[in-house]
Structures are given as C-alpha cells and as structure tokens.
Amino acid sequence: MDATANDPSAPRPDYAATPDATAPPPADTPDEYGEALDAAHRHAARWLASVQERPIRPDLDVDAVLARLRRDLPEEGTDAAAVVEELADATEPGLMAMGSSRFYGFVIGGTYPAALAADWLVSAWDQNTGSRQPTPATAAVEETAARWLLEVLGLPEGSGVGFATGATSANLACLLTARDAVIRERGVDPALGLQHAPPVRFFAGDAVHTSVVLAGRMSGLGAPVTVGADDQGRIDVAGLERALHEADGPAIVALQAGDVHSGAFDDFAAAVDVAHLAGAWVHVDGAFGLWAAASPRLTHLTAGLEHADSWATDAHKTLNVPYDCGVAIVRDEAAMAAALAAHAAYLPTVESIPDPYDRVPELSRRARGVPVWAALRSLGRNGVIALVEGLADAATALAEGFRGIRGLHVTNDVVFTQVCLAAPTDEQTAALGEWLRAEGTVWASSSRWQDRTVVRFAVSNRGTDAEAVRRTVDAVARGAAAVGIGA
C-alpha cells in the first residue's frame, strides 16, 4: 500500500476532498466507456420498462438465439458501443421476463432500483473484495450489510457472514465449516484430510433441497442420510433423534426453512434441541424461508431457528437484489475462518479480523454484498417486513383465488410463499402448466410433488400485489377452461 496514505502531512490531490459527484468527467479525459455504457443504459431502461407487460416467456428458444449469434470468432475487434448494440439486439427476444410480478417459476426475485444501480457501481468500481485492506470501501459496505442482515433476520450478533454466489455455495461454505468444526472437536486436525478423521454423519429430512445434497457431496460428507418428513416436507424429529442415537461420532444435521413445494418450515425448536443434545452441528438451509424471521407476524414459522449453528440464505430471491447473491452465516466466526481462510505471503490481512475471503469458498469475488446494503438501505426494517409479509399475503390470495376455480386443488398448506396447484389428472395439470407458460401472462414451473404433477407458484417478486394476483388467477381460470379442467 502507498506509505503516504495515512500521513496527514503528505500533499493531497484534489480528489481527496469531497468529490463533486455531479461534475462531468474532465474534458481532457478520453471517455472510452461512455458510449458503451450509454448504450447499455438505453437497452437496460427499455428492457426494464417492458418487463411488466411483455409476454413473460421468451419468444426465441436457445437454438434460435444461437442462430442469431452464429459467426466465427472475428479476426478483428469491434467498437465497444457496437458490441453492446449487437448483444442487446441479438438476445432480447430470447430473454425471459423474470422480473415480472407474475413470474412464479423456481424461486426468483426481481430487483429493487437501488440494488440494481448499486450493482452497476460494483461492476464499474471493479473491486476484488477478497481482503479488507486493499478494498476498504466495499469491505466496509459489506460489513455494514452483514450487520444489518443479522439484525433483520434475528440471528446472533457477531456471526460470520460471507457473500457467496447463491444458497448452494452458501450451503457449501456452512457445511465445510461444520465438517471441520466437528472433526476438530474430536481432536483431529481437519487439514489432514477426511482419511484421518472420524467419519462425519450427515442427516436431513426427506424433503432436503438438492443443493444441500450437492453441497454435502462437494464437502466429502456425501448425500445426507434422510430421516423422514411429514406430508408438507417437515423433518421427522423423532426419526432424526433415532438416527442420531444409532451411532456415535461427529454429526451434522441440515434443517430447512422453506420447502420449495409447500413452503413448510421444520420444527426448529424441537429439531435443534434433539440435534444439540446429540452433539451435532445444526445447519439451516433457508434460501428463501429464512426471511420469514424478519416479520413479527411470521416468526412462529422460524421460532428456534436462531439456536442453530449456521444458516444459508439468498439475497437474490426474497430480498430482490440482482443475481447473484447468497449469504453464508456461521455463529462461530472463527470456525468459519478456520475452514475457509486462504493464506499466502502476498495476500494482505488485517490483524485478526477475518477478511471477506475467509467466509466463502472463493478467493477473488465481486462486492456482491453492496447491492444487499443498497436494498436494505432503501427499504429500512419496515420495508423488509412489508416485503416479506407482502409475498406471503400474495401467496395466500393466490391460493384463495385458485380454490375458486372449478376442478383445481391447492395441494399444500400455504404457510409462506409457495402454492402448488393440481387438476383432477396429472395430464390436465401438465397441460395447464404448458398453456400458462405459452400464453405468457404468467410463468409457473411444473413439478412432481407428493406423487402428483403440480403447477408450482413461488411468490418472490416484490411487485406481486393484489392486481398481479388478480391477473394471475384470471389467467389460470382461462387456462383451466382452455385445457378442459372442470368441464
């Protein structure tokens, strides 16, 4: 670092004073970015203005977009603005309006203006926010966002918080931490490798999300042993207790806040107790469900979850920041750093304070916590509560509307943001899903749940209000009629 940086007597260039953010760039600076960024801004604005009213499905499939892009790698370069124009023109008909208030596929959030704009700045600043010292600004913004997240989610102050690409990598960060912690507890140095460690047992409910299974496999724990679940996907706590006591040795339990089909939450108070009594580490996959903890009205769903040891969630789902942003949270910040920190002589560290790269499985990374800060700053605590409760209210209203359509059944107990819909036969349900996606007013995924085909509505977009619900129920009613349901 520049040795004069902290020397108050050193001469300071003008920009050390308060910058005038409204001043144009100096005329003698060649603005090599301007035209390309202007083009990007124009296309972005046009896209964003179209998202709520265009058909949600893409007009082109991937082969059609490939055909539009097909050309050999050019020998010579092209002007930046022309590249942006070509990219936008070739791709726009193949874009899915995922930001629509009537997009219910998978679990996909939209984007708050403040978060999107902050994300643009993150790209322009291009700070590799791995360690605190070289990138003080973005590290400080992320640390502030981390503190606010713990506060709004009711998780222990001082927990380690890492900004990962999504809940999959956040689950991985947490499970790697858990694995090393339970091995170290048995007096073995986890750095020696799993072959020198006692076997670590890994348990989850039957409705465990595929990303937890993947994270288990990537971390060497393997896929979890499943211990049962009820008809909504909540872990069978008695089954968990039996499984934990079948053998000795280190153990990790993955619980779930928010099942992707039913939205159900595990009984955390009971399950965490049972797991901790058996000496197990408790991790919670709360990709979207963790956010229920922000709402005083919904905390009955998450009660006891704060006693777990680690939590994974997404900001790109419920918090509506742009892709990508997941959050790994570990109660014992030191355990997180012990498992995930990288050391090398050329990598600067600041005393004993963990760096951003001590909390995620990657070294180089964009400052993806900055849009989280922007979203939380623009919403405030009450805005977050209103967001989460609004999503849950919209799901309740959707279910009510669907129940009024002849021949359709809501197949889950709607407790949070997920609604599953079925017709009398699987064929009719599949046809309804296809009709909806092709018609374009609504986009919902088809799935299999509890041995039947369902159309799945995951409410995650900040814009899903009463009007969006009305148009959705109307589209579903038209679709049901069109495919002969209830005839």
Ligand X SMILES: *Cc1c(COP(=O)(O)O)cnc(C)c1O
- Between 97 and 290, CB nearer to ligand X: 290
Q: Does 260 bind ligand X (CB under 6 A)?
A: yes
List the 445-449 sheet strands across, edge first: 409-410, 418-422, 452-458, 445-449
Neighbour order of strands in the sheet with 281-285: 160-164, 326-330, 310-314, 281-285, 251-256, 201-204, 225-226
In sequence order, the β-bridge partners of residue 311 are 284, 329
**Three-state secondary structure call for residue 284:** strand
- Options 130, 258, 354, 479; binder of ligand X; rule CB under 6 A: 258
Pick the closer one to ligand X by CB: 211 or 472.
Answer: 211
End-to-end Cα spacing for the chain: 74
CA distance 460 to 398: 13
Distance of CA 93 to the CA centre of its chain: 26
Rounded CA-CA distance 102/441 in Å is 7
In the shown chain, the binding pattern of residues 264 to 303 toward ligand X, with x for contact by CB under 6 A and - for none, equals ---------------------x-xx---------------
Question: Cα(219)–Cα(193) distance, rounded to whole angstroms?
Answer: 11
Q: Smallest gap, in angstroms, from Cβ of residue 253 to ligand X?
A: 16
Residue number with CB closer to ligand X (183 or 459): 459
Q: Enumerate residues 318-377 that contact ligand X by CB under 6 A.
A: 326
Paired residues of 285 in beta bridges = 256, 312
Q: Closer CB to ligand X, residue 293 or residue 483?
A: 293
Residues 6 or more apart whose Cβ sits within 8 Å of residue 100: 51, 52, 56, 110, 443, 461, 463
Least separation in angstroms between CB 393 and ligand X = 20
Tokens read off for 133: 């010292």
Task: Name the minimum Å distance from CB 286 to ligand X.
Answer: 7
Shortest Å, Cβ 317 to ligand X: 6
Check binding of 412 to ligand X (CB under 6 A).
Answer: no
SS (H, E, C) 250-278: CEEEEEEECCCCCCCECCHHHHHHHHHHC
For position 108 contacting ligand X by CB under 6 A, the verdict is no
Helix axes 80-91, 34-50, angle to 10 degrees: 20
111 binds ligand X (CB under 6 A): no
Which range touches ligand X (CB under 6 A), out of 110-118, 165-173, 196-204, 440-448? 165-173
User: Which residues, numbered 198-217, are part of the site for ligand X (CB under 6 A)?
Assistant: 209, 211
Residue 97 sits in the site that holds ligand X (CB under 6 A): no
Q: Which stretch binds ligand X (CB under 6 A): 120-128, 162-170, 265-273, 423-431?
A: 162-170
**Quick one: 190 or 233, whose CB is closer to ligand X?**
233
Nearer to ligand X, 135 or 460 (CB): 460
- Coil/strand/helix, residue 333: helix
Q: How far is the CB of 302 from ligand X (least distance, A)?
A: 14
Instruction: Indicate the length of the chain as a whole number.
Output: 487
Spatial separation of the C-alpha atoms in residues 457 and 468, rounded to whole Å: 13
- Pick the closer one to ligand X by CB: 179 or 261: 261
Report the nearest approach of ligand X to the CB of residue 313 (Å).
Answer: 9
Q: How far is the CB of 107 from ligand X (least distance, A)?
A: 4
- By CB under 6 A, how many residues form the interface with ligand X? 13
User: What's the closest the beta carbon of residue 167 comes to ligand X, in angstroms?
Assistant: 3
Q: Is 107 in the site for ligand X (CB under 6 A)?
A: yes
Give SS3 for 456. Answer: strand
Stretch that binds ligand X, among 161-169, 399-407, 414-422, 429-437 (CB under 6 A): 161-169
Nearest-CB residue for ligand X:
166
Structure tokens at 206: 């039957």
CB of 314 to ligand X, least distance (A): 5
- Residue 26 three-state SS: coil
Closer of 325 and 408 to ligand X (Cβ) = 325
- What is the identity of the amino acid at 188? V
For ligand X, the binding residues (CB under 6 A) are: 107, 166-168, 209, 211, 258, 260, 285, 287-288, 314, 326
